[in-house]
Amino acid sequence: MAPVVLVTGCSAGGIGAALCAEFAAQGCQVYATARNPAKMDGFSHPRIAKLPLDVTSDEDIRRVVDEIVVKEGKIDIVVNNAGSGAAGALLDQNMDAVRQAFDINTFSILRVCRTVLPVMAKRQTGLFVNIGSVVGDTPTPWNGLYSATKAAAHMISEVLSMECRPFNISVMNVVPGSVRSNISNNMTENFELPEGSLYSAFLPNIIKRIHASQIESSMPTADFARAVVNKALSKKPPLRFTAGGNSTIFAIFRWLPRAFVLGYLWRMYSKR
């Protein structure tokens, strides 16, 4: 029986959509979800079904999980990919934006895993794949809120990897570097400095940081998805998997003196 996969955050042009296409290509039954189903255009594989899902709603998650279990009798893999950008100076973020970023990028992982856990535990098998970021390990200026949400997501993945062992459920913390997607364009369209910001002189640096993940060395989305899916469907998925542009330099950053790394990144994104 084909593995059943639930993927969150599957808007067209993003990592989630590419993951859905690759899981389906490798024989899985895939349930692609997004808050706005109209944004999930382009799926053509017969093994991909689209469902609306608001990952900030316990009730909505329960509805989707119940629907899948009724149809399939199981959920083998959950990919927590739903995410929201949070560009700008950390102290320019109002508390509504802070709560929203953590709600989508971090708390949704807990909501989805908590709802699916009993389904997987009953069968004593399953895999949670949580999409983090290299900036969850090493932050950069003008992306601090996003970095904080992903740092928390990494810790959640590591704790879940221990606490899910009694049920034979694995956890895979995916740490992407630069991967081609539409995230930068979406953030640029919606970004503006708050009135009276003390950081107005750094606007060009903030815009530069927003587009930093979409450079020539960024990994094509399909290649990234293939690498992740191959690991997820392997006999023993790794606890941590990193791929994408700049992933090597960020891996080196983790071993260098912290003050040096933060100073280097500040100089990179503060030139005027």
Q: Are 112 and 157 in contact (CB under 8 A)?
A: no
Tell me which H or E stretch contains 78: strand 77-80
Structure tokens at 191: 């970004």
- Residue type (1 letter), 193: L
Structure tokens at 193: 């400095």
SS3 227: helix
Q: Residue by residue, what is the 3-state secondary structure of 110-170?
A: HHHHHHHHHHHHHHCCEEEEEECCHHHCCCCCCEHHHHHHHHHHHHHHHHHHHHCHHHCEE
- Residue type (1 letter), 111: R
* Residues annotated catalytic, as ranges: 146, 150
Structure tokens at 114: 């908590």
Pairing of strands 4-7, 77-80: parallel
- Report how far residue 107's alpha carbon sits from residue 100's, in angstroms, rounded to the nearest whole number: 10
Structure tokens at 9: 């955050």
